[in-house]
Amino acid sequence: MGAHFRGFSMFDAFFVQQLVNGFSVGLVYALIAIGFTLIFGVLNVVNFAHGEVYMVGAYAGVVLITAFAPPLIAVVLFVMAVGAVAGFGLERLAFKPFRRFQDEASLKSKAMREATLLSSLAVSIVVREIVEKLFGGAMRPVPFEAQLTEPIQVGDLSFSTGQFVIFGAAVAMFAGLQFLLYRTRIGLSIRAVANNPLGAKYVGINTDRTIIATFVVGSVMGAVAGILVALYYGSVFPHMGFAPGVKAFVAMVMGGLSSIPGAVICAIFLGLSEAVATEFLAQGWSELIAYGFLLLTLIFFPTGLFGGARDRV
């Protein structure tokens, strides 16, 4: 009987392996999408520089590893600090200047909101160029000892340490953020500003400080995602934030724009779909999956896959 099903079970294991890999890729998208969606939920604008925060986090971590080879936890703490500074700077530079207007025309104007799309895009281009000038445009390998590519065999399936680390990080970030948002004072303020920024002023919330806090939290998550993914894939390069940033954006739109759980689920779904698609489509075509999903979502589910409840953050 074993012999009879052997061929089938091998296919099965291969397929499951693809799903495992797809799940890991989906988690990478989710790590980026969490911070992205948090910031969108509060400001209702896309932060185009999130992918660059991810990239800067990765480079900062690799520089530290190359210089001192500290333990992973120290690398993560350092990258968190870099992410916090990056988030703060980004908000001051690209977002704050467009919030000083109080007249109705500016508050309602789309141009005003779209201005921050361009200002964050500008910051992202400048940052990418600077990193390219400093470190070169080519892929830089992560020092081998630090890579999270140690294989772990479980039955027919092979995992790598990086997959477990990324899974752990995704769970920790998601749970940590839910705790922050639903169990702490600053989280209450963040949700209030996301829900009604004017109302938040009336109850005495310092909205400026809350927005900075949101950027810091979102960027810390983005930066940590960057270094972990770099250790998992084993390299960094200046444009590394672009493709996963696009996927995270698609996941955010599919999830309903401002729902973090929705974005996480859709990110994983996207990763799985891409993995399955490589089974049936020629190499390269799987890139179309994300854009296809984006179009289908925008046409058939303009408020996201999980219905119209625009429950911000």
Residue 81: partners with Cβ closer than 8 Å, 6 or more residues away: none
Please report, for the chain, how many H helices and E strands are present, in that order: 12, 4
Residue 186: partners with Cβ closer than 8 Å, 6 or more residues away: 180, 210, 213
For residues 102 and 153, which CB has a smaller minimum distance to ligand ADP in the complex? Answer: 102
Say which entry of ligand ADP, another protein, none residue 151 contacts (CB below 5 to 8 A, set by partner kind).
none
- Scanning 36-44, 59-67, 97-105, 236-244 for contacts with ligand ADP by CB under 6 A, the matching segment is 97-105
Q: CA-CA distance, 255 to 178, in Å (whole number)?
A: 16
Say which entry of ligand ADP, another protein, none residue 294 contacts (CB below 5 to 8 A, set by partner kind).
none
Partnered with residue 235 across adjacent β-strands are 141
- Scanning 101-109, 154-162, 285-293, 298-306 for contacts with ligand ADP by CB under 6 A, the matching segment is 101-109
Q: Is 44 in the site for another protein (CB under 8 A)?
A: no
Rule CB under 6 A: choose which of 2, 3, 104, 185 binds ligand ADP: 104
DSSP output for 47-60: -TTHHHHHHHHHHH
Percentages of the chain per state (helix, strand, coil), in multiples of 5 = 75, 5, 20
- In the complex, residue closest to ligand ADP by CB: 104
Tokens of residue 163, six digits: 């997959």
For residues 32 and 192, which CB has a smaller minimum distance to another protein in the complex? Answer: 192
Tokens of residue 271, six digits: 């990763």
**Which 173-192 residues touch another protein, going by CB under 8 A?**
185, 188-189, 191-192
**Which 192-211 residues touch another protein, going by CB under 8 A?**
192, 195-196, 198-207
- Scanning 18-26, 96-104, 173-181, 194-202 for contacts with ligand ADP by CB under 6 A, the matching segment is 96-104
Task: Give me the least distance between CB of 102 and ligand ADP, in Å please.
Answer: 6
For residues 138 and 198, which CB has a smaller minimum distance to another protein in the complex? Answer: 198
Q: Among all chains, which residue has been given the structure tokens 């993995």?
A: 275
CB-count burial class (<10 Å; 0-12, 13-18, 19+) for 236: buried
For residues 102 and 283, which CB has a smaller minimum distance to ligand ADP in the complex? Answer: 102
Contact 248, 267 (CB under 8 A): yes
Total residues binding ligand ADP (CB under 6 A) = 3
Rule CB under 6 A: choose which of 103, 108, 185, 204 binds ligand ADP: 103
Q: Is 132 in the site for another protein (CB under 8 A)?
A: no
Amino acid sitting at position 67: A
CA-atom Rg of the chain in angstroms: 20
Task: Give me the least distance between CB of 25 and another protein, in Å please.
Answer: 32
Say which entry of another protein, ligand ADP, none residue 206 contacts (CB below 5 to 8 A, set by partner kind).
another protein
Q: CA-CA distance, 194 to 175, in Å (whole number)?
A: 19
Q: CA-CA distance, 12 to 79, in Å (whole number)?
A: 39
Q: Is 145 in the site for ligand ADP (CB under 6 A)?
A: no
Binding site for another protein (CB under 8 A): 102-105, 185, 188-189, 191-192, 195-196, 198-207, 310-312
